[in-house]
Structure 1
Amino acid sequence: MIQRIQSIYLLLVVLLSAVGVFLLPLWYKEDGSAVLALDQLTTLAFFGVSAVLALITIFLFKNRKLQFVLGRLNIILNFILLGFFVYWSQALPGEMQISEKGIGMLTPVLSIVFLVLANKAVKKDEALVKSADRLR
Structure 2
Amino acid sequence: MLQRIQTIYLLLAAIVCGGLSMMFPYGFDQQGVELFVKQQPLLIGLCFGSAALSLGSIFLFKNRKLQFVLGRINILLNFILLGVFVYWSLTISGETVVSEKGIGMLIPIISIVLLVLANKAIKKDEDLVKSVDRLR
Instruction: Settle same-fold status: TM greater than 0.5.
Output: yes
Using the TM superposition, give the Cα deviation of residue 89 of structure 1 relative to its aligned residue in structure 2, in angstroms: 1.1
Partner residue in 1 for 2:24? 24
Gap runs ≥5 in structure 2: none
Q: Percent identical across equivalent pairs?
A: 58
Task: Give runs of ≥4 in structure 1 deviating > 3 Å.
Answer: none
Q: Is the 8 A contact 1:30 1:99 kept in 2?
A: no
Question: Which amino acid letter does the alignment assign opposite residue 115 of structure 2?
Answer: L
* Alignment partners' CA distance in 2, 1:32 and 1:98: 8
2-structure distance, mates of 1:61, 1:82: 28
CA positional deviation for 1:104: 0.5
RMSD of equivalent CA atoms:
1.0
Q: Which residue of 2 is the match for residue 4 of structure 1?
A: 4
1:29-69 Cα deviation digits (max 9, x unpaired): 34433211000110110001000000000110010000000
Segments of 5+ residues of structure 1 without an aligned counterpart are: none
Q: Counterpart in 1 of 2:105?
A: 105
Other-structure match for 1:41: 41
**Residues matched between the structures, number:** 136
Please say if residues 11 and 54 of structure 2, whose CA atoms lie closer than 8 Å, have aligned partners that are also in contact: yes
Which of 17-26 and 114-123 deviates more? 17-26
> CA-to-partner distance for each residue in 1:7-49, whole Å, 9 max, x for gaps?
1110111001111132111112344332110001101100010
